[in-house]
Amino acid sequence: MAAAFPQGANDMPTAISRLRELAYNVWWSWNDDALQLFEHIDPKRFAASGYNPVRLLNEFEPGQLASLSENASFLESYRKVMARFDDYLQGASWYSTNYESSSNARIAYFSAEFGFHESLPIYSGGLGILAGDHIKSASDLGIPLIGIGLLYKKGYFTQKIDALGNQQSEMAAYDFTQLPLQPVLLDDRQLTVSIQLPFRSITLLVWSVQVGRTRVCLLDSDHEANAPEDRAITAQLYGGDQDMRIVQEIALGIGGIKALRALGVFPNVYHINEGHAAFLTLERLKELIQLGLPFHVAVETVRSATVFTTHTPVPAGHDAFNIGMVEHYLGPYFSEVAAHKQAIIALGQDQKTGLFNMTHLAMNTAGLRNGVSKLHGQVSREMFKEFHGHTDANEVPIGSITNGVHLDSWTAPAWKELFDRFLPGTWREEQANTHQWAQVEVIPDESIWKVHMQLKERLITYARKNLAAQRARNGESQERIDEVRGYLNPRALTIGFARRFATYKRANMIFNDLHRLKKLVNDPDRPIQLIFAGKAHPADYPGQDLIRDIYRISQMKEFLGKIVILENYDIHMARYLVQGVDVWLNNPRRPLEASGTSGQKAAMNGVLNFSVLDGWWEEGYNGTNGWAIGSTGQADWAQQERENTRSLYHLLENEIIPLYYNQGALPHQWISRMKRSIQSLAPVYNTHRMVQDYTVQSYLPTAERATLFVANQYDVATKVADYKQFIRNNWHQVRILAIEDKLPPSSEAEISPYDAAPSTKKVRAHIHFGPIWPQDTAVEIIYYEEIDESWHQKTVHMEPVGELIGQAQYFEASIPGHLYHGPHFSIRVRPISANFAHSFELSLVTSTLAWQEG
C-alpha cells in the first residue's frame, strides 16, 4: 500500500523531476544541503512558507520552475543532494550491518505527538520532539520501525503575548495539502479504518509522513462520514476535556492497531511512548481472544511483545479515567469480549484511587518498562513500588534509558562544518562513540569562538524581530517598536531559559532576589542578560501567570532590553536559542524533571548547562562541563527553593560571570569548558545512542521473546500463562518453616585476624513449598551493606540441601559472620522462570520480614 503525491506531483521539469519526492521526505529537515537547495529556489518564499518545501513548490505554477533546470549551479546542487539522498536510502546502516541477518524484529512505535519540523505542527513540546528525534535516529540507524500517531487539524496552538503580558492562544486549521505528508492509498482511494464509539462508528483517514527510511502513519477523524463533533476528535493536540482525551487515546491505540493491520503490518514489538497509547494493548488482546486464545494466554502474548516508556515522575501526571467513563466509551469494544470485561478493566484499575490508569494498563501489558533517565528510573521504581507487591524499590522491574536528541537536527551547520574538519570522517555515523569526540580538543579556540559569536548575533537579530513583531501587532507606538533594535548586547553573557511553562520548572526562580539581579544585569563591565520563551497550556493558569510575571519584570526600567520574553516558542525558535546563548538555565524542582532534553541540544552547540541536578543532568554533569545548582537531597519544596536560589546566585557571581569575562582577545578558559562539554555530552546524549540502547536492551530481546511465545500455536505463551496462574493460586502455601542461624564451631569457621567472630557462617532455611516445585523458586538471603555512606541491598542465593520431603526442603548459604537473622538479614522466596522478561515479573514474595506474600 503506497502513499501518493497529490496532484501536481509530475509538474517538475525532467532535469529536476524528483524535487517533489525530496520535499515529501522530511529527511531534508536534518540535512543542511537539502534545505539550502530549497532556499536557492526562492529565499523569501521559503522563509515565508515556514521553511516548508511542499508549500514552497505548491506556490509555483507549472512551468515556473523550468528556469531551475537551466541553472547550472542549482543543477549541480540538486544532483549532489539527490545522490546523497539515494545513498542514504539504499546504503548499509548500523542495524543492517550488525543485526539484520540475525533478527526478525519489526517495531511499531506509538506516540500521541511527533515533532519533526516546525512545518508539521503536530507536537507540543518535549515528548513530541523526543518522539520525532527517535524516528529520525531509527531512520539513520536503519531500525525496522514504523511510527503511529494522530494528525491534528489545528496542531497545538499559536502563542501571542499581548501588551500586558497575557498569553493569547490562537488556533488555525492546517491545509494538509501544504504539509509534508501524503494520503495512504488503497485502490486509488485514501485508506480508512474505523473505531467503534457508543452508538456510532468513527472513520479515520490514514496519512503517511516519510522520515528518511522510516514511515510514520497518522490518523485523522476529519472525514465527511463523521458527525461534526467526531470530526473534531483529532482537531487539537491536548485539547478538550477528559471525554475528548479518552476518545483521542482510543483513536490512537485501537485505531493505530487497525491501521497497521490494514497496511498488512504485523510487528513483533509494540513500543508505547507514554501511557496515551496504551489502549493498543486492548485491541491486541481482542485479536488474540477472537483467535480462540484463553484470556490469560492472550495477556502473556501481548506482554511478550510490548515495551513501555514512562515520562512522568509524578502520579498526577499519568492519565486516569473514571471507570464509568471507560465502560461507556469502550462499551462497543467490551461487547466483543464480554466475558472478559472485568478482567480487562482490572488491567488498568488503580486500586488506591479506583480510577482506570493508563500507566497501570501499560505496565500490566508490557514485558519491559523504562524511565527516561537514571534518576527517573529510580523515581518510577519508588512511585510504582506498591504496584509490584512488596518488592524492594530497587528491584521493581522498571529500568531506564536516558533520553537524547537528534544531533543532526539540533547542531548548527557551522558547528557541523567544524566537526567535519577536525573530527574523524565517521563521526556522524558513529556519533555515540566517545573516541570520535576527543579531537574537539584540537579545534582552535579562535574557530570555536567565531562560530559561537556568529550564532549569538544571529539569535539576537531573531529575538529583536520577534519582539518588534509582538509590539507592532499589539498596536504599540513606532518609538516602542524601534526601541527593540537596541535590545540585547552581543558581548554580554547571555542566559537562555526556554521550555513549557509548568510551575514545577520554576521559570521565575532567578527573580527571587531582584535587587541582586539588578546589579548583575546592569554591571557596566560584566553584564548578564536573559532570554525567556515558552508556552503554558491554555488550561494552566498558574503557568500563564509565570509568563505574565516575567513579561512585567522585563518591562521594568532596570531590565528593559536586558531581560526579554519571546512569543510562540517552537522548533524553529528553539534552534536559535540552543545554538546562540552562552548558558542554558534549567532549575526545576528535583526530581520532577524526568529527563529534559533542551540542555542536551544546547550542549551539542557548545552552550554550557547551568542546571539543578535533575533528569539527565544528574548523570551528565561531571564537574567540568557546566554547573550544578545545588541543594540538600531531601529538602522540602520551600527549603529547596531557598537553597537553589542561593546556589544559583553564588555560582553566577563567583564562577560563571568571572569565567566568561576572564578574557583577553579570547575567553580561553570558557572555551576550554565548552570543549569539555561537547566531548563529554555529545556522544552520550544523542538519540543514536538512545535508539541503539532501545534496540539492544528492549527491541531485540522483545522480538525474540514474542517470536518464541507465538511459535507452535502459542505453546510457550500458554505454558507461561498456565504457570503464572498455578503459582498465583498456590503461592499461599509457600512458608519458611525454620531458620538455623548459629555460629559454627571455631574449627570450621574462617577466622578473620581482625575480628573475634568468624568472617563467614552458614545459614540454613527450611522451606515448605506445597505443590510448587522448588526449582521454580529462588530462595535468597537479603542484607544491607554500607558503601560510600549509603546502604545497598545484597542478595545471596541459597542452594538446596538434601531431598524434598513432605513438600519441604532445606536451603543453605554463607554470609558474613556478624549478621544475625531478624535485625541484620532476612530470607525470602520468590517464583522464577527462564521465560520471564525480568526477575520480578510475578510480584509474589514470601519473607521472614514483617512484609509477607505480595
Q: Is residue 116 domain-resident?
A: yes
Residues 139 and 194 in one domain: yes
Nearest of 591, 588, 586 to residue 375 by alpha carbon:
591
Please give the residue range of the domain that contains residue 17: 2-90
Q: How many CA atoms lie within 13 A of 604 on its CB side?
A: 30
Residues 192 and 52 in one domain: no
Residue 663's pLDDT is 79
Residue 853's pLDDT is 35
pLDDT at 179 over 90: yes
Residues 751 and 669 in one domain: no
Residue 317's pLDDT is 83
Burial 185-206 (b: 16+ CB within 10 A, else e): eeeeebbbbebbbeeeebbbbb
Read off the pLDDT of residues 500-515 as tens digits, 9 standing for 90 and up: 999 999 999 999 999 9
Residue with cell 506509538: 110
Q: Is residue 435 domain-resident?
A: no
Q: Is residue 797 domain-resident?
A: yes
What is the DSSP secondary-structure string of 232-270? TTTSSTT-S-HHHHHHHHHHHHHHHHHHHHHTT---SEE
pLDDT at 821 over 70: yes
- State percent of the chain over pLDDT 70: 96
Residues 148 and 257 in one domain: yes
Residue 474: all three cell numbers together: 499589539
pLDDT at 4 over 80: no
Residue 745's pLDDT is 58
- CATH code for position 454: 3.40.50.2000
Predicted confidence band of residue 791 (pLDDT cuts 50, 70, 90): confident
Looking at 314-318, 327-331, 649-653, which range is the least confident one? 314-318
- Cis omega (within 30 of 0) on the bond before 591? yes
Q: What is the mean pLDDT of the chain?
A: 94
Residue 560's pLDDT is 97
Q: Which residues contact 292 (CB under 8 A, 6 or more apart)?
A: none
Calculate mean pLDDT across residues 144-148: 98
Residue 411's pLDDT is 98
The total number of structural domains in the chain stands at 4
Decide which of 344, 367, 400 is a domain's last residue. 400
Read off the pLDDT of residues 679-723 as tens digits, 9 standing for 90 and up: 999 999 999 999 999 999 999 999 999 999 999 999 999 999 999
pLDDT at 851 over 50: no
Task: Give the residue, 757 or 332, on which the prediction is more confident.
Answer: 332
Residues 813 and 679 in one domain: no
Residue 758's pLDDT is 65
Residues 642 and 739 in one domain: no
Whether the CA torsion 588, 594, 598, 600 is positive or negative: it is positive
pLDDT at 849 over 80: no
Contact 129/204 with Cβ under 8 angstroms?
no
Separation in Å, CA 514 to CA 618, 649, 657: 28, 11, 17
**Which amino acid belongs to residue 443?**
I
Read off the pLDDT of residues 561-586 as tens digits, 9 standing for 90 and up: 999 999 999 999 999 999 999 999 99
Predicted confidence band of residue 636 (pLDDT cuts 50, 70, 90): confident
Predicted confidence band of residue 417 (pLDDT cuts 50, 70, 90): very high
Calculate mean pLDDT across residues 66-71: 90
Residue 747's pLDDT is 45
Looking at 471-485, 551-565, 734-748, which range is the least confident one? 734-748
Predicted confidence band of residue 64 (pLDDT cuts 50, 70, 90): confident
Q: Is residue 100 domain-resident?
A: no
Read off the pLDDT of residues 345-375 as tens digits, 9 standing for 90 and up: 999 999 999 999 999 999 999 999 999 999 9
Read off the pLDDT of residues 290-320 as tens digits, 9 standing for 90 and up: 999 999 999 999 999 999 999 999 887 899 9
Residue 487's pLDDT is 97
Nearest of 696, 697, 686, 574 to residue 137 by alpha carbon:
686
Residue 547's pLDDT is 97
Residue 817: all three cell numbers together: 559472620
Neighbours of 220 (CB within 10 A): 24
Residue 10's pLDDT is 58
Q: Is residue 95 domain-resident?
A: no
Residue 852's pLDDT is 38
Question: Radius of gyration (Cα) for the chain, nearest Å?
Answer: 29
Q: Which residues contact 565 (CB under 8 A, 6 or more apart)?
A: 161, 165, 531, 532, 533, 547, 550, 551, 554
Q: Is residue 770 domain-resident?
A: yes
Q: Is residue 692 domain-resident?
A: no
Residues 370 and 484 in one domain: no
Residues 395 and 411 in one domain: no
Q: Which residues contact 705 (CB under 8 A, 6 or more apart)?
A: 304, 305, 367, 835, 837
